[in-house]
Amino acid sequence: MRVLAEVPSFEAVVERHLDDVHGYLVYLTRDRGAAEDLTAETFEKALRSWRRFDPRRGSARTWLLNLARSTALDHFRAEERRRRRERAYAPERREHEDGVFGGLSPALERALAELSAGEREVIALRILLDLDGEAAARVLGISPTACSTRLSRALKKLEERMSADVAA
Amino acid sequence: MSQPELVDEIRAARIVASPELRARVLALATAVPPAPPRRRWSARPTALVLVPAAVAIAIAGALVAGLAGSGRTKRAEPAPAAQPFARDATTAREKATGSGAAGSIPATPGRAQRYESELTLKVASLSAATKRALRLTRSYRGYVRSVDYGSGTGRGSAYLVVRVPVGRVQEAIVAFSALGDIVDQHTSIQDVQPTVDRRFRQMQAIRDVIAKLQARLESPALTADERRALEDRLVAQRRRLVVLQKEQAALLREMSFATVSLSLRSARQAAAAPDRPGRIERALDRSGSILLDELKVAVYVLIVGAPLLVLLALSLAGSRLWRRRVDARLLSR
């Protein structure tokens, strides 16, 4: 007999996964303020589409991370359009602020900040949130093998940056 | 710093949402109570239910339509009745199909009537039935006008035209119908009594004329020329009377016999002809043709719709690929 998956309450989901979603978005955007706004926006979306959530198709965390990714990508698109408009008038100078990733050594902070959003994303999913390969691959929309490759390259790059920083 | 050390440091530095963010998000959840999640049907179970259901409905519909349609049988329309031979003639027509004794129409006693009957019979043995028909004809004091007999391997037929006295024709038809199974029967009666009566009146009139001519010829006052003219008229009237008498006699003789046409077919020949299928067979046949039509429509829809579906799938795949490339470009910064 098929057992129907238990659906948790929305409040419980918020309590349980808010830090995960927020951390993921911090890694993706490397901007605390933007990550907070996107986290709130993600949960707004989650609230609106709560009826569509099906626990049989995946965990609430994966579902929320998918929403967060989509929200972040929308944000990146909007940012790109804005930058394109403003580029002609004032070239952007974005500097990394310390302590964005919370409690990391300054060298690792800088090395992480130098990685691409995609590389930070896979590190956030696999290491920070400790998602398994399959779940992370589902969030990224790629195969588990591609996910492992991406993580391996990101860690290697991170290691290289750290070594270069130490050498400097 | 090695990779495991990097991993450990990242894992150790958990990012915690600020109390403001937590309060903001929780306020969202408590302000508008979310609707309970509804059960969603994914495409696969829906297809697993819908496709067999559609197939079952198509088959059931075809079977029901086939069963409903099998009750309606196409019966051959009876041939239009023959035109009456004369205005005053009466024609009776009877057509019976199926087994059993022939339903014959009796001739009206005392009236001159042309009685014709056609019988088509399916017989077990063509030879025996033909011989029996000839014997029956003779036993009813009738005679055979023509016989056309032919038999071969697996098929055979005989066509007999016999004449039977009108008074015994009913009896004869019943006896003939017992030779086999009646496939078809047709009886025609034409009343010719008015013709007989008219001819009789003409003959009476001629007799009166003859009597008058004979009376005039007995007169002694007639000249030789007058006598010769009266004698010529008398001879002409007598000849006319004789002709009418012969015609009347021939007609009455003809009307005293009925013509019976017997068409005998061997049972083997009849068996060779396809039997009318039963209701279940007809229902299955009809259901099969309906299912075939449904299949044709499905194939047609598939042929017409497949290129559109392929185009749709390609455009969806293309848009997804394009979006992924855009996302990858955005995330590569």
Domains of chain A: which residue ranges?
A: 10-167
Counting beta carbons within 10 angstroms of the beta carbon of residue A26, is it exposed (0 to 12), middle (13 to 18) or buried (19 or more)?
Answer: buried
User: Contacts of residue A156 in chain B, CB cutoff 8 Å?
Assistant: 3
User: Contacts of residue B10 in chain A, CB cutoff 8 Å?
Assistant: 101, 104, 108, 123, 127-128
> What's chain A's length in residues?
168
User: Contacts of residue B20 in chain A, CB cutoff 8 Å?
Assistant: 36
The model's confidence at residue B17, banded by pLDDT at 50, 70 and 90, is confident
* Residue position matching structure tokens 């059960």: B39
From A140's Cα to the closest Cα of chain B, the distance in A is 10
Strand, helix or coil for residue A93? coil
Q: Do B13 and A36 touch (CB under 8 A)?
A: no
For the full predicted model, state whether its pTM sits above 0.90. no
Chain B 291-330, CB below 8 Å of chain A: which residues? Answer: 324, 326-328, 330
B181-191 and B91-96: which strand pairing? antiparallel
pLDDT value at residue B35: 62
CATH code of the domain occupying A10-167: 1.20.140.160
CB A125 within 8 A of CB A66: no
> What's chain B's length in residues?
333
More confident residue, A105 or B108: A105
**At residue B97, does pLDDT exceed 70?**
no
Q: What is the ipTM of this complex?
A: 0.81
From B6's Cα to the closest Cα of chain A, the distance in A is 8
User: Contacts of residue A14 in chain B, CB cutoff 8 Å?
Assistant: 25-26, 29
* Residue position matching structure tokens 């706004």: A37
pLDDT value at residue A5: 57
Q: What is the mean pLDDT of residues B20-49?
A: 74
From A97's Cα to the closest Cα of chain B, the distance in A is 16
**At residue B77, does pLDDT exceed 50?**
no
The model's confidence at residue B155, banded by pLDDT at 50, 70 and 90, is low
Using CB atoms, pick whichever of A50, A55, A77 lies closest to residue B35: A50
Counting beta carbons within 10 angstroms of the beta carbon of residue B285, is it exposed (0 to 12), middle (13 to 18) or buried (19 or more)?
Answer: middle
The model's confidence at residue B88, banded by pLDDT at 50, 70 and 90, is very low
Strand, helix or coil for residue A49? coil
User: Contacts of residue B25 in chain A, CB cutoff 8 Å?
Assistant: 14, 18, 39-40, 43
Question: How many Cβ pairs closer than 8 A exist between chain A and B?
Answer: 125
What tokens does B145 get? Answer: 């006008």
**Which one of A21, A37, A39 makes the best mutation probe of the B interface by having the most chain B beta carbons within 10 Å?**
A39
Q: Do B10 and A26 touch (CB under 8 A)?
A: no
Chain B 32-51, CB below 8 Å of chain A: which residues? Answer: 32, 34-40, 42
* Residue position matching structure tokens 């083997």: B268
User: Contacts of residue A80 in chain B, CB cutoff 8 Å?
Assistant: 330
* Element of type H or E holding B30: helix B19-31
More confident residue, A21 or B1: A21
User: Contacts of residue A162 in chain B, CB cutoff 8 Å?
Assistant: 1, 6
For B5-14, B87-96, B211-220, which range has the lowest pLDDT when averaged over its residues?
B87-96
**At residue B76, does pLDDT exceed 90?**
no
pLDDT value at residue B98: 41
Give the list of residues 6+ apart from residue B310 with CB closer than 8 angstroms, or none: none
Strand, helix or coil for residue B237? helix
Strand order in the sheet with B155-165: B91-96, B181-191, B113-123, B257-266, B155-165, B143-152
Give the list of residues 6+ apart from residue B183 with CB closer than 8 angstroms, or none: B97, B120, B121, B122, B265, B270
Q: Do B37 and A101 touch (CB under 8 A)?
A: no
pLDDT value at residue A40: 93
* Residue position matching structure tokens 């969603």: B40
Q: pLDDT truncated to tens, each residue of chain A (168 aa)?
A: 444 556 678 888 888 999 999 999 999 998 888 999 999 999 999 988 888 888 888 888 999 999 999 999 999 989 888 888 876 665 555 555 667 777 788 888 888 888 899 999 999 999 999 999 999 999 998 899 999 999 999 999 988 888 887 776
Query: What sections of chain A are H helices per DSSP?
Result: 10-29, 32-48, 60-87, 106-114, 117-123, 133-140, 144-167
Using CB atoms, pick whichever of B30, B36, B330 lies closest to residue A80: B330
Counting beta carbons within 10 angstroms of the beta carbon of residue B136, is it exposed (0 to 12), middle (13 to 18) or buried (19 or more)?
Answer: buried
Chain A 24-53, CB below 8 Å of chain B: which residues? Answer: 26-27, 36, 39-40, 43-44, 47, 50-53
For A67-71, A112-116, B45-49, B95-99, which range has the lowest pLDDT when averaged over its residues?
B95-99
